[in-house]
Amino acid sequence: MAVCVATATLCRVQAAQDQAAAGDDSEVRPAVTKTDLEIVEHARRILDTPAKWNRADNRKCPDGAKAFSLYCALEKATYEVTGSFEHRGAAMQEARFVIEEVAPDWKKYDHRLMDYNNDPKTNFADVQKLFQLLHERIERRLKEQSAAPKQ
């Protein structure tokens, strides 16, 4: 009995470590869902005026904030739409990949969402354009996923 409990505990620890390792993969591409479109649109509404934009992101998103970075708007929207948050969730990841397409200096960024948000060259119109491109990208991926043959 003690061996079974110990083995089960080791298996849970290993599974948690495997999940954490996968969660750290900055190139992971989770499947997208219609919920991801809802997250993007909700984030766009959260960050709908320049006065609500926090230009000094530190990836800490306090409750009760009145201004939001790109990262925090997506985090807040994810919580409000789904009730939970994944740092490497589909909407967050796709936003990172859009940044790779639009920011010429993205390879210099340690954290794509934070550093794009804080980049002096990024303006509010750029952030709004990112939401538009992100929405289009997720729609495209949804179509690709539905057209892909089931295995």
Residue 11 has pLDDT above 50, yes or no: no
Cβ count near 56 (within 10 Å)? 9
What is the per-residue burial (b if ≥16 Cβ within 10 Å, else e) of 9-25? eeeeeeeeeeeeeeeee
Model confidence at 16, in pLDDT bands (50, 70, 90)? very low
Contact between 55 and 117 under an 8 Å Cβ cutoff? The reply is: yes
Cα dihedral across residues 68, 58, 132, 24: positive or negative: negative
* pLDDT (tens digit per residue) in 18-67: 444 445 788 888 999 999 999 999 999 999 999 999 999 999 999 999 99
Helix axes 124-147, 90-102, angle to 10 degrees: 120
Cβ count near 61 (within 10 Å)? 18
Listed by start position, the domains of the chain span: 26-147
